[in-house]
């Protein structure tokens, strides 16, 4: 069997960021000029939000593809959200992508397990990594421990340079395994010569995990070559995407826009103008520090639970009572571990749960945690953190009772709920008890950041 270097994740970063921004926008109109794109936008029956996002993609594509003879270098973080981290997922590998005037000059992939051995063991890991992961120092693979991508991107760069990495990056891009599913939804299932089965949007992630962890042993594939299936799959999908009709390419573009909105793709650029555009589009994965009304951000960190997030289902139930002198809040977070047995892939689920709420809130009770809660303040928010354990085939609910700040006086009530990167759709119910005692209820799916006034 022919052996390939492991380029799977870099291929998908190129597909997501360069190919979709370049092929769909640039290559389709390169002989007609930007005016043709404007005519295309005018003819297509698309929502104004999508049109604005497309215009942003055009601007980003132009900045990335046309470098005026200069080489641009990007750090690509590949986050496996089957093993959830606050910033998206476990960083099993990272890539270094170099582009110049529309061409990929070079791209290389690195295993963080190997690279982390070059990083001095000088930084203590955040709580509770030491106790749960049994590590004495913090390194690149766990660098995305903040819910804010800008912080994670800078932390990843710091660890890269601590490991004697020599590149200076023009930007940092993070993607999750959900991007693979997005492509397969449009291309349809694919088969690979020399490998069993068919890889479709419903099963590809699970089958790939099995192949690189267990299946290669039965196929007499060397450990160092066990991820060759990823490279093969990446190039197979790339070939199919190139042959898609314009309509299908647009369908793929819309799906990738959803990945951007849901934070399965997050971006940070050194160029201030580019970063301002990304931030305005909401693709920077930033915690909203400017929001002045009620606020909620639920953040999980899978710590020593293998890839159990594939089986864990979550739901949030939030009640806010405005009839009291000081508004009272109640939050219930339910985990259901649907894994049927412990094996190489899944086990009893353990997460360090952090709930970010308005600064100045007073937490009265926390129930359902495995240990006493911890408290802190960051990103202009208060957070309460607790370790939660959910054995296989069980359900666990963690509840938080708290008061909003005493000075929480608003002419109108509104709530912003931010979505964690890498987390799939979460059912949410919100119950609003108004000042007159009347109730208003709403259920929805948290698939991107939501504002209550836009939902009710």
Cβ atoms < 10 Å from Cβ of 21 = 22
Provide the pLDDT for residue 81. 94
pTM of this prediction exceeds 0.85: yes
Coil vs helix vs strand at 139: coil
Q: Give yes or no for a contact between 417 and 296, defined as CB atoms under 8 angstroms apart.
A: yes
Domains of the chain with CATH codes? 8-281 (3.40.630), 294-454 (2.60.40)
Percent of the chain with pLDDT over 90: 55
12: Cβ–Cβ under 8 A, 6 or more apart, which residues? 175, 179, 180, 183, 234
User: Among residues 277, 268, 281, 270, which one has the least CA distance to residue 77?
Assistant: 268
pLDDT per residue over 266-325, tens digit each? 999 999 988 998 999 999 999 999 999 999 999 999 999 999 999 999 999 999 999 988
58: Cβ–Cβ under 8 A, 6 or more apart, which residues? 21, 25, 34, 37
Percent of the chain with pLDDT over 70: 84
- Parallel, antiparallel, or unpaired: how do β-strands 362-367 and 374-378 relate? unpaired
Give the end-to-end CA distance of the chain in Å, rounded to a whole number: 57
Coil vs helix vs strand at 374: strand
Please state, in angstroms and as integers, the Cα–Cα distance from residue 333 to each residue in 154, 303, 314, 353, following that order. 30, 18, 7, 10
Provide the pLDDT for residue 42. 57
Q: At residue 358, what are phi and psi to the nearest 5 degrees? A: -55, 140
Give the span between the Cα atoms of 297 and 282, in whole angstroms: 16
Give the span between the Cα atoms of 29 and 6, in whole angstroms: 33
Q: What is the mean pLDDT of the chain?
A: 85
Count each helix (H run) and each strand (E run) in the chain, helices first: 14, 19
Between 4 and 237, the more confident residue is: 237
51: Cβ–Cβ under 8 A, 6 or more apart, which residues? 41
Please state, in angstroms and as integers, the Cα–Cα distance from residue 180 to each residue in 7, 208, 237, 242, following that order. 14, 11, 9, 16
Q: Give yes or no for a contact between 87 and 152, defined as CB atoms under 8 angstroms apart.
A: yes
Provide the pLDDT for residue 188. 86
Length of the chain: 456
Average confidence (pLDDT) over 187-198: 80
Q: Give yes or no for a contact between 318 and 429, defined as CB atoms under 8 angstroms apart.
A: yes
Give the span between the Cα atoms of 231 and 257, in whole angstroms: 24
pLDDT for residue 70 is more than 50: yes
Q: Tell me how far the alpha carbon of residue 366 is from its chain's centroid.
A: 27
Average confidence (pLDDT) over 397-415: 90
Give the span between the Cα atoms of 111 and 156, in whole angstroms: 14
pLDDT for residue 23 is more than 80: no
pLDDT per residue over 320-354, tens digit each? 999 988 999 999 999 999 999 999 899 999 999 99
Average confidence (pLDDT) over 1-18: 42
Provide the pLDDT for residue 255. 82
pLDDT per residue over 101-131, tens digit each? 767 788 777 888 889 999 999 999 999 999 9
């Amino acid at each position: 069997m022919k052996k390939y270097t492991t380029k799977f994740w870099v291929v998908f970063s190129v597909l997501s960021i360069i190919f979709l921004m370049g092929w769909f926008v640039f290559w389709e109109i390169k002989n007609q000029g930007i005016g043709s794109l404007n005519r295309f936008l005018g003819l297509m029956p698309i929502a104004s939000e999508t049109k604005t996002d497309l215009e942003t993609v055009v601007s980003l594509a132009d900045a990335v593809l046309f470098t005026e003879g200069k080489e641009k270098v990007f750090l690509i973080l590949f986050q496996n959200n089957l093993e959830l981290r606050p910033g998206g997922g476990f960083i099993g590998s990272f890539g270094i992508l170099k582009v110049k005037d529309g061409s990929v000059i070079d791209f290389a992939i690195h295993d963080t397990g190997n690279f982390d051995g070059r990083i001095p063991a000088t930084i203590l890991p955040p709580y509770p990594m030491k106790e749960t992961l049994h590590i004495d120092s913090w390194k690149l693979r766990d660098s995305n421990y903040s819910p804010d991508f800008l912080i994670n991107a800078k932390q990843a760069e710091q660890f890269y340079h601590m490991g004697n990495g020599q590149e200076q990056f023009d930007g940092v891009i993070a993607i999750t395994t959900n991007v693979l599913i997005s492509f397969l939804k449009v291309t349809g299932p694919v088969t690979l010569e020399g490998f069993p089965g068919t890889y479709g949007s419903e099963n590809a992630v699970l089958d790939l995990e099995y192949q690189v962890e267990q299946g290669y042993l039965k196929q007499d594939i060397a450990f160092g070559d066990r991820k060759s299936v990823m490279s093969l799959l990446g190039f197979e999908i790339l070939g199919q995407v190139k042959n898609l009709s314009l309509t299908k390419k647009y369908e793929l573009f819309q799906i990738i826009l959803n990945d951007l909105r849901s934070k399965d793709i997050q971006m940070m650029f050194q160029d201030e103008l580019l970063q301002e555009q990304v931030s305005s589009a909401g693709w920077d994965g930033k915690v909203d520090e400017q929001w002045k009304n009620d606020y909620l951000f639920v953040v999980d960190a899978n710590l020593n639970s293998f890839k159990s997030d594939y089986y864990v289902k979550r739901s949030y139930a939030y009640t806010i009572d405005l009839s009291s002198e000081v508004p009272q809040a109640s939050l219930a977070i339910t985990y259901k571990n649907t894994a049927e047995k412990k094996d190489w892939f899944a086990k009893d689920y353990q997460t360090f749960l952090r709930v970010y709420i308005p600064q100045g809130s007073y937490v009265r009770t926390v129930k359902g945690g495995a240990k006493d809660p911890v408290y802190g303040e960051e990103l202009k928010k208060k957070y309460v953190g607790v370790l939660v354990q959910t054995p296989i085939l069980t359900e666990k609910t963690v509840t938080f009772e708290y008061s909003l700040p005493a000075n929480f006086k608003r002419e109108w009530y509104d709530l912003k709920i931010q979505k964690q990167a890498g987390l799939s759709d979460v059912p949410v119910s919100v119950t609003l008890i108004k000042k007159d005692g009347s109730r208003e209820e709403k259920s929805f799916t948290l698939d991107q950041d939501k504002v209550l006034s836009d939902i009710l």
